[in-house]
Amino acid sequence: VTVELAQERLAEAVAAVTPPDDALLAAARDALDRKTKPRGSLGRLEELAVRVAAIRGSLTPEPLRPAVVVAAADHGVAAEGVSAYPQEVTRQMLATFAAGGAAICVLSRSAGVRLVVVDAGVAEPFAHPDVRALRLGPGTANAARGPAMSREQALQAIGHGVEVADELAGDGVDVVALGEMGIGNTTSAAAVTCALLGRAPAEVSGPGTGLDEAGVARKRDVVARMLAHNRPDPADPLGVLAAVGGFEIGLLAGVALGTAKHHGIVVLDGFISSAAALVAARLAPAANAYFVAAHLSPEPGHAAVLDALGLAPLLELELRLGEGTGAALALPLVAAARAVLVEMATFADAGVTDTGR
């Protein structure tokens, strides 16, 4: 993919993201109010059902066909000692995704959902028939000392993600759960969040996969240096991604954009995938309405990003693994919300007395 083509594709994808059919929101609420249950008694499942109707553009959407996309990449900033794990674990986990033994493999199987594994740029390539190689390079550069990647690489990462979303949509997939793996990527996500939301590093830097207090302090300082060196402009999301982001973050931003373009549901996982969705929403504000927050991670930056996106998490299970695990766990709730909207009998159908409560 040439830079020009990537630039063109991004402009096309951004232009093609149109808002969901909000006229269906009220109609879906009305349809739910006629179902045999007290008004609103299915709580947040009803809110989700209303969103599904608007996104899918129908009061009777077809059964959903979900997939999980997990993108792995390495981060040059890992050299600053910001993770409890060494960098080679990214590639080891990519191999574990391919072998089917990682948490996201198990949870995807448990939910009966297709898993797409992408190498967006792990330091050492891992060739495997079940790994989609969409590599932007052997990991990003160390963003504490300069930009993580070029603007061209950022464009191409997003373009690759849009391409994956296009292919999934072509296969009939209409719900995409975002997952990621990359040693050091909570640091990159923290820097992206600070840059786009004007947050201080201390507000969004947490233990990630298991830093101790001194480790978190070091990470906070590294995030501050990433911002000081690169001075990313919050009005330029592509520039933010290039300066302090990651290849998998860019790729997932593209998957989010592309899925929104096809009127699919984008299920966010934890802090990193949500930061990717934030990049997508800054590029194409209409994409935001296609996002569903699966869960709330204890990583402090996650709440900041979900707040900026106006999303409330469905689950609070203290998950902090990433890989798309929380998103995979939320997929049955999305399926259930659709089923309630489409399959439940109305008071009139069922001959049940409706007191309007």
Catalytic residue among 47, 163, 180, 323: 323
**Which distant-in-sequence residues (6+ apart) come within 8 Å of 145 by Cβ?**
229
Q: How far is the CB of 321 from its own copies (least distance, A)?
A: 4
If the CB atoms of residues 7 and 209 are measured against its own copies, the closer one turns out to be 209
167 noted as active-site residue: no
Of the pair 4, 349, the CB lying nearest its own copies is at: 349
Nearest of 273, 271, 312 to residue 292 by alpha carbon? 312
For its own copies, the closer of residues 173 and 331 by Cβ is: 331
CB of 77 to its own copies, least distance (A): 18
User: In the bound complex, what is the minimum distance in angstroms from residue 107's beta carbon to its own copies?
Assistant: 6
Q: How far is the CB of 326 from its own copies (least distance, A)?
A: 9
Amino acid at 103: A
The nearest distance, CB 329 to its own copies, in angstroms, is: 6
Whichever of 41 and 60 has its CB closer to its own copies, that residue is: 41
Closest CB to its own copies among residues 13, 93: 93
| Residues in contact with its own copies by the rule CB under 8 A | 35-39, 41-45, 84-86, 88-89, 92-93, 95-96, 99, 101-103, 105-107, 109-111, 209-210, 298, 314-321, 325, 328-329, 332-333, 335-336, 339-340, 343-345, 349-353, 355, 357
- Count the residues in the chain: 357
Closest separation between CB of residue 85 and its own copies, Å? 5
Choice between 22 and 353, CB closer to its own copies: 353
The encoded tokens of residue 13 equal: 């994808």
For the chain, give the secondary structure using H, E and C.
Answer: CCHHHHHHHHHHHHHHCCCCCCHHHHHHHHHHHCECCCCCCCHHHHHHHHHHHHHHCCCCCCCCCEEEEEEEECCHHHHHCCCCCCCHHHHHHHHHHHHCCCHHHHHHHHHCCEEEEEEEECCCCCCCCCEEECCCCCCCCCCCCCCCCCHHHHHHHHHHHHHHHHHHHHCCCCEEEEEEECCCHHHHHHHHHHHHHCCCHHHHCCCCCCCCHHHHHHHHHHHHHHHHHHCCCCCCHHHHHHHHCCHHHHHHHHHHHHHHHCCCEEEECCHHHHHHHHHHHHHCHHHHHHEEECECCCCHHHHHHHHHHCCCCCECCCCCCCCCHHHHHHHHHHHHHHHHHHHCCEHHHHCCCCCCC
Catalytic residue numbers, as ranges: 323
